[in-house]
Amino acid sequence: MLRGLSAAVLGGCVVLGLLLSSGCVPELSLLGLGGDSIVAGAQETAEPSTPASEPSLADATSPSSDGASTFTPASLPLSTSVSGTVSGTGSYQRFEFGPGAPGDTWRVTANTPPLSASFVVVLLDERDELLYRRVLGSQDTLEHILRYAAGRVSVGIMPLAGSSGGSFDLRISRVVGSVPPPRPERVYLNFAGGSGVRVQNRAALSFPAFDAASLGSAYVGLTDEIKRGIVATVRADYAPYDVIIMTSDEGPLPSGSVAVLHFGGNDPRLLGLAAGVDLYNSQPGGVAVIYTDSFAPFAAMRLEPAEFASMIGNTASHELGHLLGLFHTRQPDDVMDTTGSAWDLVGEQTLGTAPLEPTVFAVGSQNAPAILAAAVGLSPTFEPPGKSAPVAKGSQALDPRRKIIIDIASRCGTCLELEEGE
């Protein structure tokens, strides 16, 4: 695998240029490179290059870099071409640039001839935390304005899930811009039923008001208790941010821009689905469904009402995360996780920093607090709660219900279905 990747990279090329106010500087030297992490940069004059730092991704596909780099100072225009090949699951290439300043506007487009396939293209910071992601075809442009400073900006490229990949030739540019302000969000949790609810390209969905009896006979009469738990879970997750959570029990759907989370209906494959991943909440509002009837099989876990509420509430927070720009992760105590067990989904999950799910990108992580703060802003009234009492270790392991394993066939289809539709 290592050899294959190295060969692919060595077959690629990096063409660098720097657009200055005085004009375009001719192509600068190609850096000595090895492996799949390519350090690229340019400066105004061909100064002797300095040793590159070791790639921060210490996985088997990142051999040590014997290359050298010089970086374009942040907030100067930059125009660069990169090309290469990525083929097969887990393969990727990453081109490293210098520091990024708030307001820097990065663009990635296909050079001619057209791309051989659609690719996943990401921007990562110096900690390999995701700044932006999109699926890029020949006619597409990735454009992102940095919301906060980055010690280093990387452009990563990998095949789209289900694609064999191929060769790419991309133009990467950076111009100076200004940071758009956060866009606060209002969210309406609809437990009152719905009709004609459409999410993505799915058939319109109609469903009655949420009734906990749909979860199983053990929950008859517990509707209000479970609803309160769901609302409390979502409110707790988003309390640090400028997100107002309203519910259908408190009043009708308000006018204006509102993100609506519907609770009802059934899907044979999914627990939840959001209209899309709206990076940095570029369009406040949106719609998502939490298919509450799909949770009925988990009644076999003999969940307490509060546990069922936590499970559904975590799923609601997850779908809301998509509407505010978050992607899937692979850490079971993270709200955006898709890899944990049903018991993980019952337990406490938080919006933290977690490794990316591999179809989002092969490496890197998502810092949900940083992204949400940039997307919607921080709550003007939030005060962090005091330290909670520690949970007795081993108490969960002693719970005989933990031996009841119910598989989650598919928790959320948001990202997958979006990319199927690309």
Which pair of tokens denotes residue 266?
């059934």
Cβ nearer to Zn ion, comparing 74 with 360 = 360
363 vs 91: CA distance, rounded Å = 10
Provide, rounded to whole angstroms, the least separation between the CB of residue 415 and Zn ion: 6
331 belongs to the binding site for Zn ion (CB under 5 A)? no
Cβ nearer to Zn ion, comparing 316 with 412 = 412
Provide, rounded to whole angstroms, the least separation between the CB of residue 318 and Zn ion: 5
Q: Are strands 119-124 and 154-159 parallel, antiparallel or unpaired?
A: antiparallel
Q: Choose which of 84, 174, 414, 416 interacts with Zn ion (CB under 5 A).
A: 414
Longest dimension (CA), the chain: 75
410 vs 341: CA distance, rounded Å = 11
261 belongs to the binding site for Zn ion (CB under 5 A)? no
Q: Choose which of 189, 205, 412, 416 interacts with Zn ion (CB under 5 A).
A: 412
Asked if residue 113 has a cis previous peptide bond (ω within 30° of 0), the answer is: yes
Cβ neighbours, 10 Å, residue 184: 18
Provide, rounded to whole angstroms, the least separation between the CB of residue 314 and Zn ion: 11
Provide, rounded to whole angstroms, the least separation between the CB of residue 277 and Zn ion: 8
Cβ nearer to Zn ion, comparing 42 with 326 = 326
Choices 96-104, 363-371, 397-405, 407-415 (CB under 5 A): range interacting with Zn ion? 407-415
Cβ nearer to Zn ion, comparing 154 with 414 = 414
2 vs 36: CA distance, rounded Å = 9
In the chain, the amino acid numbered 115 is L
Distance of alpha carbon 274 from its chain centroid, rounded? Answer: 13
Choices 72-80, 179-187, 227-235, 409-417 (CB under 5 A): range interacting with Zn ion? 409-417
Provide, rounded to whole angstroms, the least separation between the CB of residue 107 and Zn ion: 27
**Short-list 415, 313, 325, CA closest to 369:** 325
Binding site for Zn ion (CB under 5 A): 412, 414
